[in-house]
Structure formats: C-alpha cells, structure tokens
Amino acid sequence: MDGFGTGEGWFVLAAITDAMRDRARNHRIGMLRRLVHRLGRIEPIGDDRFAMEAAIGAFDRVYGGQSLAEAFMAAAATVASMRRLNSAHCYFLRLGDPAQPVTYVVDRLRDTRSFSVRHVRAEQDGQAIITVTFAFAAPTEGIAHQTAMPDAPPPEDIVPRDVALIARHDGALPKNAGVPWPIDIRHVDQPPWEPRIGDGRHRVWMRVDEDLPDDPLLHACLFLYASDLCMADAVTNQHPIVWEDLIASRGLFGASLDHGFWLHVPARIDRWLLHVQESTVAADGRGYATGRFFDRAGTLVASVAQEIFIKEMGESG
C-alpha cells in the first residue's frame, strides 16, 4: 500500500499500479533527455550573447527554473572551466512565452583570483524576462561547519509526485500540474493539493532518474533547474488555497518574484537530495520560503530562498 507521510498519518493511494509507476518514470526520463539535449544547444552569437530556441516544458509559461538553468549555461561559457558555481541571485520580471526563442546577454562584471561574477539578462522580443547575477568560485580551503540533516523516511517508501497526481485525477491532470517534470519529486510531508492547513515546514526528496556523466557543470545546471520546483508549497500550505485553482489561474494568480541559490559543495542531481523547506512569513501577498538541500550522507550541499507573489484575480499588481 502506498502513501504520503503527512505528519498525522498516511494518505492512502490504493489505485497506484506498477504500470503507472513505469509510465511516469519513462515520461520523466524522456523529458530529462530533451532538457539535457536542449541545454547543450545554447548558441553563442557574438559579444557574449547566446541564443536558445523556444522552450520545452509542462506549463503555459516558461518555467523560471529553466530560464535560470539556461542563463547559467550562458554565464558559464564566459568563465574559466575550473571555477564552479557559488551562488545565483535571480529576479523573475515577466512571464516568458514558451513559443518564442530567448536571447541571453552576459555582462562580465568582475574576475579575481578567487571569484568570477557575471550578470545575465534573458530577453524575448527585446524585453527582459529574468535577470540573474552568478558568482563562480575557484577551489579553495577554509572554515567549514553545517547544521545537521533532519530525519526523514527514505525516498523508496514514498510515492512519486507525478504518480500520485495521475492516481488522484484518474489521468485527467489539471492545467499546469507539471507532469511530466524531468525530476522525480517525492513529498515527505503533505502534498500541496491536500486541503489540510500545514505549519509551513515541508520536506521533499528529489533526483533525476538516470545516471548522468561526471560533469559538474551539468549537475549544477540541473540542480538550479530543480531548486525552483515546489518552493511555493511551504507558503501555500499555510492557507486555504486550492492548489488546482492556483496552478490553473482560476481566481488566483501566483508567480515567483525572485530566487537565491547557494551551492556550498558540489552535488550530484542523479542521487537523492532532501529539500527541507520552511516559510516563516507572508505579508502583502508575498510569501517568503527558504530551503536546505542535504545529500543522503547528511551533507548540506545547497541553500535556497525565494519570495512568491499570490493574489486574487482582478486585484491590481
């Protein structure tokens, strides 16, 4: 019998079959392969400008994590290969049109012995849709400490997100449900569609389904992509928001405003990572969420912060 751990018991999903699991996994792998292929096709067009064809995905808009990952690839193309991603600070300015190509414009802000800093602007039709500042760091040694990884049941005991959604909706998925995603996501705590009001704490296991090459650039890129997934859940589960209405924009509008990401140590996105999320405050329609990513050995590999804007349709803003 399958279920979600909700903190108060098990949410039973008796309708799940092995065939459903296999089909969902194959869809995730197919989308992952298309995404990796796409990321390798970013094209330099001169003067630190890069072109990318129209987007792929499961939404009616360009997924912000995809724009962030592509901007990272553009920035990395202007940095010495031995320098790894240290941090990214992104503002989502406009909803991107998935039917239109994107141009990424890189500004080389600074290079020192320890760091390289790049600013990237993603444009469609001459208008910026996101702007990101990336810092890359040279390998070094220095102070080190971390907080302990919290307890969590193993991901093998938890139903994949897409499988649970397919079972819940009998295959007729709501608009913008995010199926398929190229990432296997497993909610340790309540999934966002459960109506119970939560406490703003949320744990999620995630990884890609296939082994990837030993390419730190690719792993960092896909990690950035994944880091934007599910960030709203710790915010929305504290309010009587119907998830299906929010994602389909039925009476509600929601969008990420910004995104901060810090990669503390190199991590593999093809190994399970526990994303521990928390939302401590929301004000004026803006919910603030933070997250920490741990590998299965307990190493804190990355941290993330984001603000999400939610409003009733018809409000100004």
The catalytic residue positions are 228, 256, 306
Q: Does a cis peptide bond (omega within 30 degrees of 0) precede residue 180?
A: yes
Distance between CA atoms of 291 and 272, rounded to whole angstroms? 15
Q: In this structure, is the dihedral angle defined by the CA atoms of residues 35, 37, 40 and 42, taken in order, positive or negative?
A: negative
Q: b/e per residue, 152-187, with b = 16+ CB within 10 A?
A: beebeebbbbbbbbbbbeeeebbebbbbbbbbbbbb
Distance between CA atoms of 51 and 102, rounded to whole angstroms? 6
Contact 132, 82 (CB under 8 A): no
Nearest to 209, CA basis, from 82, 45, 31: 31
Distance between CA atoms of 223 and 183, rounded to whole angstroms? 10
Distance between CA atoms of 279 and 115, rounded to whole angstroms? 31
Q: In this structure, is the dihedral angle defined by the CA atoms of residues 24, 30, 32 and 38, taken in order, positive or negative?
A: negative
Contact 120, 106 (CB under 8 A): yes
SS3 238: coil
- What type of residue is 74? A
Task: Report the 10 Å Cβ neighbour count for 104.
Answer: 27
How far from 191 is each of 38, 88, 188, 266, 268, CA to CA, in Å?
30, 27, 8, 28, 25
